[in-house]
């Protein structure tokens, strides 16, 4: 089926930036610096400035950003790391991949970690917490940091969906000891393939991460420890350098689209909104309704493409079976997974298309109401 309103549209973004991107790629190719070259250094400097941190380390993808961050803290076999189960799999797989045990906690209505549940889940084996800033909304970091400090836990922000988001004057990624980003094509700041970054203001952690991403190499002939091959590709960095200056415009347009959705829909579905003192980036605009499945089917028939982030929580996936969680383990996460629906909000949309999507949803609920009224007669 050809959708009149697509959920994503990469081709339109490229068409608008084609000349600039091709010129940047050509410069990188001509330089011959294909691994950790000038393009990567330029991106790392600019990205650290954006995140208001002293250091940024470009890595291969967002998953590696999380894995390397856990390794930098020495987390491994016998340790526990707490996160939420309503995220993309990487938020938990990174923990398992370093040999530690993922421990999940429930979320609040805003889909982010509930600090009350975090505190209850801490054991003597807990070494770190990974709050996920889902959809571009930063978690309650003030409460999380206080709990982490009291229990001497490392705080690693999973800011994969939250580049450019703000929390009480601080940028996403700058609040914990480390901040991890995905720069995947679907993100607000996106490459043309996999890419990621880690930010920090801790010099020792930054130095360790620079080694971890590059085989543990101190020099070409001296390897300090077993590391990874997880370097940000120079060609991806070239593309990111073109797109980084436009990020604020990308976010503002998404916030404008979010405002349209909210104004038109808040009387018929649950809609996200900025918390006091926060600036959300709306990587996703997720509504909540018990009629989710029927609504999604209706919108499909109207030619409107939607998505679900995520229909099956991580704790109920086959890969997590050994952890012992069952349906009912996390009431809010499981209820939300049956009600959430992500609406189109990419920057290739027109304002009129966003309004049409919203009006179509209002029409759906009018039809529901009419059907319910007719059944009473």
> What residue spans define the domains of the chain?
10-245, 247-376
pLDDT tens track for 28-68: 999 999 999 999 999 999 999 999 999 999 999 999 999 99
- Cα–Cα dist 283/19, whole Å: 26
- Matching CATH topology for 10-245 and 247-376? no
- Could you tell me the pTM of the whole model? 0.97
Residues of the chain with confidence (pLDDT) below 50? none
Instruction: Tell me phi and psi for residue 217, to 5 degrees.
Output: -80, 120
Query: Quick one: tokens of 95?
Result: 């923990």
CATH of domain 247-376: 3.90.1150.10
Q: What is the pLDDT of residue 2?
A: 60
Tell me which DSSP letter residue 187 carries.
S
Q: What is the pLDDT of residue 370?
A: 87
Q: What is the pLDDT of residue 332?
A: 98
Q: What is the pLDDT of residue 377?
A: 62
25, 110, 127, 137 from 340: Cα distances, Å: 39, 11, 31, 15
68, 79, 200 from 58: Cα distances, Å: 11, 27, 12
- Cα–Cα dist 205/271, whole Å: 38
Q: Find, among 173, 134, 143, the residue nearest to 157 by Cα.
A: 173
Residues in the chain: 377
Tell me which DSSP letter residue 229 carries.
B
Q: Find, among 320, 315, 251, 308, the residue nearest to 283 by Cα.
A: 251
CATH of domain 10-245: 3.40.640.10
């Amino acid at each position: 089926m050809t959708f009149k309103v697509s959920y994503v549209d990469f081709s339109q973004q490229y068409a608008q930036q084609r000349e600039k991107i091709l010129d940047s790629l050509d410069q990188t190719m001509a330089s011959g610096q294909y691994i950790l070259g000038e393009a990567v250094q330029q991106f790392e400097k600019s990205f650290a400035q954006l995140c208001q941190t002293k250091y940024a380390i470009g890595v291969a993808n967002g998953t590696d950003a999380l894995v390397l961050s856990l390794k930098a803290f020495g987390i491994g076999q016998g340790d526990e790391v707490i996160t939420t189960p309503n995220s993309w799999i990487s938020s938990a797989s990174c923990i398992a991949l370093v040999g530690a045990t993922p421990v999940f906690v429930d979320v609040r209505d805003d889909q982010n970690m509930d600090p009350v549940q975090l505190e209850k889940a801490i054991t003597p084996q807990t070494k770190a917490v990974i709050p996920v800033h889902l959809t571009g909304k930063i978690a309650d970091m003030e409460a999380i940091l206080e709990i982490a400090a009291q229990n001497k836990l490392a705080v690693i922000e999973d800011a994969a969906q939250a580049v450019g988001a703000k929390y009480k004057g601080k940028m996403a990624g700058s609040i914990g000891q480390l901040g991890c980003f995905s720069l995947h094509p679907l993100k607000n700041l996106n490459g043309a393939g996999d890419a990621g970054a880690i930010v920090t203001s801790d010099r020792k952690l930054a130095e360790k991460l620079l080694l971890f991403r590059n085989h543990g190499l101190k020099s070409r002939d001296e390897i300090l420890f077993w590391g990874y091959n997880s370097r940000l590709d120079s060609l991806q960095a070239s593309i990111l350098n073109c797109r980084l200056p436009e990020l604020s415009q990308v976010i503002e347009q998404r916030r404008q689209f979010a405002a349209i959705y909210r104004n038109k829909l808040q009387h018929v579905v649950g809609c996200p909104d900025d918390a006091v003192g926060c600036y959300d980036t709306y990587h996703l605009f997720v509504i909540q309704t018990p009629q989710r499945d029927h609504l999604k089917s209706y919108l499909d028939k109207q030619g409107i493409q939607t998505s679900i982030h995520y229909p099956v929580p991580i704790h109920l996936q086959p890969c997590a079976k050994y952890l012992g969680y069952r349906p009912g383990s996390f009431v809010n996460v499981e209820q939300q997974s049956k009600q959430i629906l992500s609406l189109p909000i990419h920057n290739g949309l027109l304002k009129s298309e966003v309004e049409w999507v919203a009006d179509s949803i209002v029409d759906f609920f009018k039809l529901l109401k009419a059907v319910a009224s007719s059944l009473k007669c």
